[in-house]
Amino acid sequence: MGEASREIMRQARQEVPEWSASQVRQSLAEQRENGEQAPDVALVDVREKHEWNEGHIPGAIHVPRGFLELQIEEAIPDKDQTVVLYCAGGVRSLMAGKTLQQMGYRNVISMSGGFGQWKGSGFEFEMPRLMSDAQARRYSRHLLVPEVGEQGQFKLLDSKVLLIGAGGLGSPSAYYLAAAGVGTLGIIDADVVDESNLQRQILHNTDRVGQYKAESAKETLQKLNPDVNVVTYIERLDEENVRRIIADYDVIIDGTDNFPTRYLLNDAALLANKPVIHGSVFRFEGQLTVFKPYDGPCYRCLYPEPPPPALAPSCAEAGVLGVLPGIVGLLQATEAIKLLLGIGDPLVGRLMTYDALAGEFNELKLFRDPHCAACGENGNPENLPTYADVCAL
């Protein structure tokens, strides 16, 4: 180290306080014992990725020194919070501490001796979960997005999404969720592939006419991404199976085209506290919203009773432009990923509409009905009528 470097380090030590590994460990332990909701101490690892992969202190945030100025304010927005930095030996963390002070952080501390001292003292550390080389290549574009990154991709790989139907909406939703690496996709559909489906249901092909849609979908999705586990349910959603089927999933995508299933799914999702991403299409028009239990309106808030069958024709009766379900289904997949990652502003309490002929998106504000029979103040979603006898199936 040259004279200039030694002088820089001397100044850094004068300006940036240092804690030993034992002091940092004690502070973290006291914080856990106090059970504080917002941590007083933020622990930041400023080493490079390959160093992090060799082990890190539990609870640390990884912000490599080279990206510190770009990422630290997003990782730790409160500049009054105590920030403890560590590297391999305590040099880079001192320099990083000076940088944070220049950025306005008022309580910055460097851990002397770095991770080497922590590990040499026999303190606990953890090995990060690592992607295979094939996964790193497959999801490389996700890894470049700060809102997703490696941890977000692992979250997707651990997530479970249930698709009600492998038809016009379920096909594009499932295809892109599988491509994105959502680890488990459940598909419930008791229908078989028909030639009339192929104009819009992209999971199927001519060779699979007569095959169960759920099995055809599984074949397509597993060829696209072997990381994805596809669970098939060749049955119709009803009062007997709905709670059992939705229990294991994080998010539900509603691709149905009949009212009895929508009401049934709404009530079961409220009881199980599962968000439902609702989509529907009609000729040249589509709509989309997210029903998040008790955080926004439910399906019964919007439609306390179903319309007469004559006013609610299915696609088989009214027709639909083949590309329209692709647009709405992709938007449903987008909302699912936002919910799984906890990012963005999901369409809760908002109804997005799309007019393909006009090329226009519009949005309507939705509100919970305090008198809703399912989610209102005195509502109870259990044992409500499913309207199976009055709806057009």
CATH code of the domain containing 168: 3.40.50.720
Instruction: Provide the edge-to-edge strand list for the sheet that holds 350-355.
Output: 229-233, 184-188, 160-164, 251-254, 276-282, 285-291, 350-355, 360-365
Q: Which one has a higher pLDDT value, 128 or 327?
A: 327
Q: Do residue 7 and residue 99 come from a single domain?
A: yes
Using the predicted structure, report yes or no on whether residue 116 has a pLDDT greater than 90.
yes
Using the predicted structure, report yes or no on whether residue 39 has a pLDDT greater than 70.
no
Residue 216 in any domain: the answer is yes
Q: Do residue 48 and residue 174 come from a single domain?
A: no
Residue 141 in any domain: the answer is no
Q: What confidence tier does 374 reach under pLDDT thresholds 50, 70, 90? A: very high
pLDDT at 188 (0 to 100): 97
Q: What confidence tier does 236 reach under pLDDT thresholds 50, 70, 90? A: very high
CB 112 within 8 A of CB 119: no
Q: Do residue 25 and residue 163 come from a single domain?
A: no
Q: Do residue 27 and residue 170 come from a single domain?
A: no
Range of the domain at 280: 159-365
Q: Do residue 343 and residue 201 come from a single domain?
A: yes
CB 387 within 8 A of CB 260: yes
pLDDT at 294 (0 to 100): 94
Lowest mean pLDDT among 41-50, 219-228, 308-317: 308-317
CB 266 within 8 A of CB 279: no
Question: Measuring CA to CA, which residue among 186, 60, 176, 172 is closest to residue 114?
Answer: 60
C-alpha–C-alpha distance, residues 240 and 96, integer Å: 59
Using the predicted structure, report yes or no on whether residue 385 has a pLDDT greater than 80.
no
Residue 371 in any domain: the answer is no
pLDDT at 305 (0 to 100): 80
The residue-averaged pLDDT of 378-386 equals: 80
Residue 293 in any domain: the answer is yes
Which domain CATH number covers 89? 3.40.250.10
Q: In this predicted model, what pLDDT tens digit does every residue of 123-179 receive, in sequence order?
A: 999 998 889 999 999 999 999 998 999 999 999 999 999 999 999 999 999 999 999
Residue 194 in any domain: the answer is yes
Residue 301 catalytic? no
Residue 381 in any domain: the answer is no
Q: What confidence tier does 38 reach under pLDDT thresholds 50, 70, 90? A: very low
Selected catalytic residue, list 87, 298, 301, 315: 315
Residue 372 in any domain: the answer is no
Q: Do residue 164 and residue 300 come from a single domain?
A: yes
CA distances to 126, 132, 226, 288, 349 from 271, rounded to whole Å, are 37, 38, 33, 22, 19
Question: Measuring CA to CA, which residue among 277, 113, 95, 83 is closest to residue 182?
Answer: 277
Q: Do residue 56 and residue 184 come from a single domain?
A: no
Domains in the chain: how many in total? 2
Q: Do residue 251 and residue 298 come from a single domain?
A: yes
